[in-house]
Each structure stands twice: as structure tokens, then as C-alpha cells.
Chain A
Amino acid sequence: MADIKTPPGTAVDEPGRAADRRPGQPFPEAGLRRTRTRATAGSGRMATLLVSPTLLVLSVVVLYPTIMALKESLYGTKGLDPKTGFIRTTEPFVGLRNYTGIFGAAGDRFWNAFWNTTFFTVVTVGLETLIGVAMALIMHKAFRGRALVRAGILVPWAVPTAISALLWRWIFNSNGIANAVIGHQILWTTEGFHAKVAVIIAEVWKTAPFIGLLVLAGLQVIPKEVYEAARIDGASALGQFWHITLPLVKPALLVAVLFRCLDALRMFDLPYILVGAQKNSVETLSMLAQNEASNVRFGPASAYAVLLFLYVLLIALAFVRVLGADLVGDGGATGRSAGRRRRRITALRRAEVTA
């Protein structure tokens, strides 16, 4: 334990020594450097020790399965031995054929699932962002019954997806509420574009509050003075929203949208329960991988899962790199946007002055 106590000790010693020190004396400097090196080595070891359980758990639950999935995706399906009638006990090594297969004749189902996944992600996240921001603005306003509205908006988010899927399946039943409301019988759970619409409605209903919640948190840290200044300068409500609220809430909004994108790309339970398995109109990549695995074709299933993983990774990277989503919370993005905001406000003022 002596190692760890070193840094504070040096720090205490330091002022005294510095006071005695005359210019040109190298000794204290060297001593300081030596103790610092020792301290870093010690705390480095400690850090390794403290982090190692996390790393261990991560490698067991994340790294190892990922590597196994990668390895499994290089193997094909066990074949049937026509003589004995038994399935062979070993999986043939097929290299990258599970991956190249998506460009062949069997790839239709993959690309259909891929486009469905992309379509659902783009449309649902787009709608959720619009509705979520609107919800957040409403929840942020001070008015009577605000607590009730906040709680009410959050209810869909609290319902487990599988349960909400069941709920919406009743709503979209051939004799359900949805058809009664529109006064026209649409068979929502049959193949076709309406099945996609059903999934999108249910998904947006469920997860718009999530974006609302994160944006609300972002709204609450915007200081009132900024709005006051804008009002004094005569900015309209829309101008305030566009030039103050949106830029200041952007870091929170980006994180929310990123989380929703990653979530939407993995979408499985909602279309699976609401519309059903193996419906081409709503089959997502997760559903396709699950279907392959349930037919004991672990190789192709792993390949689809790996492709989905890469797709998700790509989107996440794009968010962090291109849009500068601040996931770690080091304030980099906040600082940048705050700077931009200052510039914008001055620009606004200047514009007003000239006007």
C-alpha cells in the first residue's frame, strides 16, 4: 500500500522544497520525477487490478461470443448422410461462402430483410425524433397538470415491447379498434405495405417518449438567461427554438437518436409478435438470423448476425465521427456547440442591429 500513498506525500513535501530551492539546482526536479514515475507505475498496477474484473467480464460475455460467432459463420450446415439417414456430426468448413451467399440467388431474403431493417430504422427514428422533441417541449413548459402529462407521455415507454406488440395486435385485429376508427377493414397483419405501417405506428408510439425523455433532460440544463436575452433582442418563438433550443439540445438529441438507431436496427420482438414470423413485408435482419438458427443452420445465422453487427457498428461510428455525438460525455461536443451558439447569437444581434 506504501506505493499508493506516495503521490500525496510528494505533493505535501513539494512546497517546502520549492521554497528552499535556488535557481539552477537540479536535485529537487530529479527527485520529483523519480517519485512521480514510481507513483505512476504503482497506480497503473492498481488501475489494471481494478479494471481487470470488468475486462474479464467483458471478454467473457462480449469478446468471446463475438469471436465464436465469427468462427461459426465460417461453417456450413451439417449434411444428411443418405445411407444411414442421420445428420453428419461435423459442420463443413465453407470459408466465406455464408457471406458471399447474400449476393447469390439465396440473397433475396437477406436483402429484403436488410431493406426492411433500414426502412424501419429511418422512418421510425425520423418520426420519433419529431414527436419526441415535440413531447419534450410540451413536458418542459410550466403549466398546471404538468406532472400528469409527463407521466402520461412516459407510459408507453414503460410497457415491455412484447406486451405492447400484443396490445397492438388486438388493435390491428381484423375486427379491432384500428379498423373501427378508420371505418374500413384493412387486414393489417397480412403481407403488404400496411403491415409495415402497423409496425411503424406501434414502434413510434412506444419509443417516441424515450427521445422525449432525453431531450427533456437536455432542455432543462439550458439557462433561462439565454432565452431572456433573445427575447430582449426580439427573437420570435420560432427563432428562439431554431437558434437557441435546437443547438443547445443537440448533444442530448444526438445521443438519443443514436441509441434509437442502434435499437431500431436490432428490431425483433415487435414485428415478430405483432405481424408474425416469416412475413416478408416486415422481416428484419434479427428475425432472419433467428429463423436460420431455429432451423439448426448456425453458420448462416451467425453470418447474418455478424453482418448486422457490422452494419450497427458502421452507423454508430458514423454518428460519432460525422455528427459528433458525445457518447462519453467529455464535453467536447457541448463546448463546440456552445461556441457555435455564442457565435450565432452575436450574429443574430448584429443582424437585428443592422435591421
Chain B
Amino acid sequence: MKTRTTRALQCSATLVAAGLLVTACGSSGGSGSGEPAASTSFQGRGPITYVAGKDTSGVVPKVIDRWNTLHPKEKVTFIQLPTDADSQRQQMIQNAETKSDAYTVLSLDVVWTSEFAAHQWIDRLPEKQFPLQNMLKPVVETAKYRGNLYAAPASSDGGVLYYRTDLLKKAGVTKPPATWSEMTADCAKVKKLPEAEGMSCYAGQFQKYEGLTVNFAEAVNSAGGVVTDANGKPDVDTPEAQKGLDFLAGSFKDGAIPKEAITYQEEDGRQAFQSGKLIFLRNWPYVYALAEKSKVAGRFAAAPLPGLSGPGSSSLGGHNLALSSFARNKATALDFMKFFSSEDSASTFLKDASLAPPYADLYDDASLVKQYPYLPVLKQSILRAVPRPRVVQYGDVTSAIQQEAYAALTGSKSSAQALKDLQSELQKSTAQ
């Protein structure tokens, strides 16, 4: 009895010690692996994984199956993460922090590229092996960090302006507005119509979340300003940026944007537009198909976003493929990334899941345009698009933008003061 007890105690003590040792090694082993990512050699073939948010359209397994039948010895397993972008990012970071090889190819939101590259969680990719010249330039920019390619563009997205064709026509407006002042004038004409009673002019996404960053950046860029300059330095305290923010804040003040739009995310705005409460709506292309099934079906169209003195610039959405630094079988992974981001796959994604492709010529394909009438507009939108700030501390930058833009929109700060504060906040978070 006695010996058994002691042995059991000893055993458990050893186990605890071993456990502590393993975790200790895991947490402190980081300092050794700091070699530059450029020297990555893509070696090893075998099974890999593809990690992305939940696939609601069922098209991802279809494309992966196509790969798996072609490469039976290098099978790809699809790991689905939650729908919510923040939890996807968190799980990918956790995987990287533990240096796990569970994830091979990551589907990164375009704004995460800099952060993942700077932390060396993803490998630098050989630029020449991807057909970047056939892709839309702003989209390619989102895959780069400090001029080097770290991801392969897989899908894109840009904002468009939805408008009520029936009401505009009745009010004698023949074409969608290209500038904010045209939009205001058109709206004034439409509101004189009896059927436009109780309608508001315009809405976007103004709730305090990522959508506000998108809408703020669009307003600033459309007025000729920037949030961060070409080198990633914040430069938002400018007269141009203020004109952009003033457009949003002023529209809130004079009621062109309804008060409740401060709570709008994508879906709230879509519902308001579909139930006939809005004349103009800034939203993503996915709204098109859904609105076609609503009571405004056939009475709306999409146009490029308006700007201060000409067409505006959209922010960019979409996803890029990146290769986890801690993965095995990187040769297979590279081939899979080329396959998954090829024009062929992009066309499948567009047809089956209406994901905007990074390839320019797909937007002009007659049969695809028939299926998605907004494609030419979306192409213009993406071509004029400006990526959201490409900075390492994107999380801090976007929350600073949300904080200050929200203060300006709700009127608790003047837009000049908000931009001044934002500039100093951004300088703080990008200086780290």
C-alpha cells in the first residue's frame, strides 16, 4: 500500500513537472526562429489544410474536391472557422502563437495582411509565380507588406451606391449622382414626390464597428484625403479629410442620413432600403441579389460611389490566401494556393457564391454580367478603391477611427477636433 501510494505520488509529480516543462518550452521557444521569411524554401509534399470562415454557399468544398481528385496524394482538408471575422483572426493568431502546424493555407481578410506579415506568422511568397498582372491593382496592393508579396488575392469586394430608379426617374433625374452635391440635389427633387414621404436620402454603415471604418475611409478618400499615406504614416488631419467627414456629419445633422442610421450595420441598411425608407444606400454587392427578391425588385440599380467633386473611392473588402509559417508540406501549399486563386477558381467562386474576383477580365465576361448586372459598376468601384490603412496595428487603428468618427457623427465633437485627435491617436499606435 505504502509503496503504491508513493509511486503514484511520484508519478503525478513527474507528470506535472513534465507538463510544466512542455508548456515552458512552448512559450519561450520563440526567440530562436526569427529568420527572415524571404529565405523560405517551399519544400515537402503531402496533405495540408485550408482554413477559412464558415462557407455558407458550399462552393469551397466543391473547389477543394476538384483539387483532391487531381492530387490524391496531397489532399486538402477544409477547416471551417466561425462566421465572425474577429474570431477567425483570433483562432489564426492562437495557431501562430503556439507555432502549430495544424493550419497550412489561411484565408485572411485583406486588412490583416500587414499584421500577419510583420509578426512573421505567414511566409513571403514568390511574386513571379502568381498572375498578378491580370489582377486589379488595388486588390494586389492589399496582399503586400512593405512592397513584398505575402498573400495571393482570392476574392475582392467594393462598395456601390444603390438607388431607387423609379423615384429618380419620376423626379426627372436621368442618371445616378456622381458627386455628393448631385446626390443631395437629386434627393431634394425626389422628396418632393408624394410617394417619397417619410423617406430619407442616404445611409451606409455607421454603427461603431468595422463598417464605420470602411465608411469613414471612403468619405475621406472620396474627398481627396487619406487616412494613412503611401508609407503607412497617418495623415488624416487635412482639409480634404475634413470635407469628407463633414459630408457624413453634416448629413446626419440635416437629416439626409436618418438618425437611426448610427445603429446601422450592413443588414439594417439593407432592410431599410428594401422596405422603401431610403433613396440611396451604400452597401456591398451581396445586397443586389437579395433586394431583387424584395418589394423594391426591379426598381433599383447600382452605381459607383459618389465623391466630393467626382466619383468617389470605395474601401476594399475580400480575402487573400496566405501560407502559415509553421506549416508543413509548403510545396503542396504553394501549388494549392496557385490553384485556389487561379482565374478558373475565381470564376467558380463568382458564379456559385457571387464572390467578386480579383481578375480584371472576369468583370467584362458577357455571361457573368448577365448573371450579375452590377459587375461593371463593381469593377469601376474596385479600380478606384483605396485599401483601408495597411498597418501592423490594424486593430488599434480601426478602433481609433471608429472612436473619433463616431464622436463626429453623433455631434459630440466637431469634425476638425475629431480628426486632430484621430491623427495623434494614429501616430501613437503606428509608432509602436
Please tell me which stretch of A20-28, A85-93, A262-270, A323-331 contacts chain B, meaning at least 4 of its Cβ atoms lie within 8 angstroms of it: A85-93
- Kindly state whether residue A84 has any CB partner on chain B within 8 Å: yes
- Kindly state whether residue A37 has any CB partner on chain B within 8 Å: no
- List residues of chain A with CB within 8 A of the CB of B120: 86-87, 89
Distance to closest chain B CB from A100 (angstroms): 18
- List residues of chain B with CB within 8 A of the CB of A64: 20, 23
- Kindly state whether residue B68 has any CB partner on chain A within 8 Å: no
**Interface residues of chain B: helix, strand, loop or mixed (majority):** helix
A85-B145, A87-B118 known; A294-B395 Cβ under 8 A:
yes
- Kindly state whether residue A116 has any CB partner on chain B within 8 Å: no
Flag if A174 contacts B36 (CB, 8 Å): no
Flag if A45 contacts B5 (CB, 8 Å): yes
- List residues of chain A with CB within 8 A of the CB of B20: 64
Contact with A along B72-85 (1 / 0, CB 8 A): 00000000000000
| Interface set, chain B 55-99, CB cutoff 8 A to A | 86, 89-90, 93
Flag if B34 contacts A89 (CB, 8 Å): yes
Contact with B along A169-180 (1 / 0, CB 8 A): 000011100000
Contact with A along B104-123 (1 / 0, CB 8 A): 00000000000100111000
Flag if A294 contacts B90 (CB, 8 Å): yes
Distance to closest chain B CB from A55 (angstroms): 9
- List residues of chain B with CB within 8 A of the CB of A276: 207-209
Flag if A52 contacts B9 (CB, 8 Å): yes
Contact with A along B388-424 (1 / 0, CB 8 A): 0000110110010011001000101000000000000
- Kindly state whether residue B183 has any CB partner on chain A within 8 Å: no
Question: Which residue of B31, B34, B399, B403 has the most chain A CB atoms within 10 A of its CB atom?
Answer: B34
Flag if A80 contacts B392 (CB, 8 Å): yes
Flag if A295 contacts B1 (CB, 8 Å): no
- Kindly state whether residue A191 has any CB partner on chain B within 8 Å: yes
Flag if B12 contacts A190 (CB, 8 Å): no
Contact with B along A32-53 (1 / 0, CB 8 A): 0000000000000110110011
Distance to closest chain B CB from A256 (angstroms): 33
A89-B30, A294-B395 known; A49-B208 Cβ under 8 A:
no
- Kindly state whether residue A77 has any CB partner on chain B within 8 Å: yes
- List residues of chain B with CB within 8 A of the CB of A68: 23
Flag if B9 contacts A278 (CB, 8 Å): no
Flag if A187 contacts B8 (CB, 8 Å): no
Distance to closest chain B CB from A193 (angstroms): 13
CA distance A46 to B399 in the complex (A): 56
- Kindly state whether residue A207 has any CB partner on chain B within 8 Å: no
- Kindly state whether residue A122 has any CB partner on chain B within 8 Å: no
Flag if B19 contacts A90 (CB, 8 Å): no
Distance to closest chain B CB from A175 (angstroms): 7
A87-B119, A189-B263, A276-B207 known; A59-B16 Cβ under 8 A:
yes
- List residues of chain B with CB within 8 A of the CB of A84: 36
- Kindly state whether residue A279 has any CB partner on chain B within 8 Å: yes
A79-B432, A295-B393 known; A90-B31 Cβ under 8 A:
yes
CA distance A276 to B399 in the complex (A): 12
Flag if A191 contacts B12 (CB, 8 Å): no
Q: What residue of chain B has the Cβ atom nearest to residue A294's Cβ?
A: B90
Flag if A3 contacts B1 (CB, 8 Å): yes
Contact with A along B199-217 (1 / 0, CB 8 A): 0000000011100000000
Chain B residues in contact with chain A, CB under 8 A?
Answer: 1-2, 5, 8-9, 12, 15-16, 19-20, 23, 30-31, 33-34, 36, 86, 89-90, 93, 115, 118-120, 145-146, 207-209, 259-260, 262-263, 268, 392-393, 395-396, 399, 402-403, 406, 410, 412, 432
